[in-house]
Copies of this chain bind each other. A is one copy, B any other.
Amino acid sequence: MRKTQEILTDAKIASRELALLSTEEKNAVLYAIADALEENADGILRANEEDIQIAKAHLPTVMLDRLRLDKKRIAGMAQGVREVAMLPDPVGKVLEENGLKNGLTVIKKRVPLGVVGIIYESRPNVTSDAGALCFKSGNACVLRGGKDAFRSSLAIVNTMRSCIAGMRLNENFINIVEDTSRQSATEMMTAVGYIDALIPRGGAGLIRACVENAKVPCIQTGTGICHIFVDKDADEEKALAIVHNAKTSRPSVCNAAEVCLVHESILQSFLPRLYERLEGVELRCDERAFEILQGKPRVLRAGETDFDTEFLDYILAIKTVSGVDEAIAHIAEHSTGHSEAIITENEATANRFTAGVDSSAVYINASTRFTDGGEFGKGCEIGISTQKLHARGPMGLEELCSYKYIVKGNGHIR
């Protein structure tokens, strides 16, 4: 087993080489990796079968399904890598260029972060996805996947590494931590000087553990308590369609809505319609909303924690507000800063909402489900940042980069 510290050191050294590869070299590697994943599908599936056999004993069916690979999923992974190859290279772009009065030229250029650490859970496809995104953005990566998917992820990474080595490049561009104990996660979180950015991907517990324990720069991702405010000037048809979409199209993801705030002046008319539209969704209502829907099935009084819970399920909390300012205040107190929407035809109200709500994405008359790297035109995403430092919202290739200043003089002294 390679020691974690050894892997970190190797990744750091490799990152310097990787930063200097041309776009053409990087793309050639990515296409070769995509082919190799398909060619080595049998080997990856054997490793995956071992994971499944062991995980069967303790994982619920839904988790086993996430873990399981087949030829189609491997083809999907390969296709994902090819799509990353087709994206524009973010590295080397001149972001600013200034000629100073003293004759110095200051060029601000985009460069890779260096070494990116990613701690994630049990989906093995994250392995090829994250590896490809880091590679294309010029970053060496150190991946630490979930224990349950370890054999699958190792087989995927080894396929990628062999492919890189076969092209006479440094296989340490892409690395996987081989120690699956908690110790290796701690080593990554404290790898000061080795990891330039740590990105946790997974449930709220994993993310909190990383943010609280990391001594390396870390990006808080994912958790989404997303709100939709249905204003008194809302087009109710749009509101019904949007709340339905944001709640039910994929309840398990972070950009799904968890709370609907309803303007008091339309509560009486709108709420029964919303109830009808949200078939199969449990509504946890504040007192005023509860009075209106009382007695119907799947209607409950909201409990203490219901406005602070990421349900990730067919459950929606409902709160009555007196207007946009109360909506903004409620969101400020309860949101995770991911995505919020207002449904209104009143432009002034919409502007007040977008100015006052401090979340990564603020929508007017659209579903929160659009917060996604692909939807935002980034072509991909490594995660959705819910913090304000460095990157906010969907993080694509550009957000996996830093910059540096190159200053040209001719003997200049200060």
- The reply to whether B217 and A387 form a contact with Cβ atoms under 8 Å apart is yes
Q: CA separation between A169 and B106, bound complex, in Å?
A: 39
- The minimal Cβ–Cβ distance linking A140 to chain B, given in whole angstroms, is 12
- The reply to whether B389 and A389 form a contact with Cβ atoms under 8 Å apart is yes
One digit per residue, 1 when the CB lies within 8 angstroms of any chain B CB and 0 when it does not, for chain A 237-276 equals 1100110111001000000000000000000000000000
- The reply to whether A405 and B393 form a contact with Cβ atoms under 8 Å apart is yes
Stretch at the interface among A52-60, A76-84, A129-137, A355-363: A355-363
Q: CA separation between A185 and B48, bound complex, in Å?
A: 48
Closest to A106 in B: B376
Chain B residues within 8 Å of A348, by CB: none
One digit per residue, 1 when the CB lies within 8 angstroms of any chain B CB and 0 when it does not, for chain A 122-158 equals 0000000000000000000000000000000000000
- The reply to whether A370 and B196 form a contact with Cβ atoms under 8 Å apart is no
- The reply to whether B412 and A362 form a contact with Cβ atoms under 8 Å apart is no
Majority secondary structure of chain A interface residues (helix, strand, loop or mixed): mixed
Range class of the A interface residue count:
35 or more
Tell me whether A405 and B360 are in contact in the complex, defined as CB-CB below 8 angstroms, given that A197-B389, A388-B196, A411-B235 are known contacts. Answer: yes
A392 within 8 A of B: yes
- The minimal Cβ–Cβ distance linking A332 to chain B, given in whole angstroms, is 6
Tell me whether A413 and B365 are in contact in the complex, defined as CB-CB below 8 angstroms, given that A389-B402, A390-B390 are known contacts. Answer: no
- The reply to whether B404 and A362 form a contact with Cβ atoms under 8 Å apart is yes
Tell me whether A365 and B411 are in contact in the complex, defined as CB-CB below 8 angstroms, given that A217-B389, A370-B104 are known contacts. Answer: yes
Chain B residues within 8 Å of A220, by CB: 217
A162 within 8 A of B: no
User: Which residues of A in the span 10-69 have a Cβ within 8 Å of any Cβ on B?
Assistant: 16, 19-20
- The reply to whether B405 and A361 form a contact with Cβ atoms under 8 Å apart is yes
A377 within 8 A of B: yes
- The minimal Cβ–Cβ distance linking A207 to chain B, given in whole angstroms, is 12
One digit per residue, 1 when the CB lies within 8 angstroms of any chain B CB and 0 when it does not, for chain A 337-369 equals 000000000000000001110111111111101
Q: CA separation between A365 and B408, bound complex, in Å?
A: 7
Chain B residues within 8 Å of A371, by CB: 405
One digit per residue, 1 when the CB lies within 8 angstroms of any chain B CB and 0 when it does not, for chain A 382-411 equals 000001111011000000001111111111
- The reply to whether B411 and A237 form a contact with Cβ atoms under 8 Å apart is yes
Q: CA separation between A360 and B404, bound complex, in Å?
A: 5
One digit per residue, 1 when the CB lies within 8 angstroms of any chain B CB and 0 when it does not, for chain A 79-115 equals 0000000000000000000101000101000010110
- The reply to whether B197 and A212 form a contact with Cβ atoms under 8 Å apart is no
A301 within 8 A of B: no
Interface centre among A104, A114, A375, by most chain B C-beta atoms within 10 angstroms, is: A104
Closest to A351 in B: B406
A299 within 8 A of B: no
- The minimal Cβ–Cβ distance linking A356 to chain B, given in whole angstroms, is 7
- The reply to whether B211 and A192 form a contact with Cβ atoms under 8 Å apart is yes
Closest to A354 in B: B406
Among B114, B217, B355, B409, the residue within 8 A (CB) of A363 is B409
- The reply to whether B192 and A366 form a contact with Cβ atoms under 8 Å apart is no
CB-CB nearest 7 A-B residue pairs = A366-B409, A245-B413, A238-B411, A388-B402, A366-B412, A217-B389, A390-B390
Give 10 new A-B contacts, CB below 8 A, not counting A16-B332, A20-B356, A393-B405. A217-B217, A217-B390, A235-B411, A360-B405, A361-B407, A362-B405, A362-B407, A389-B389, A389-B402, A390-B390
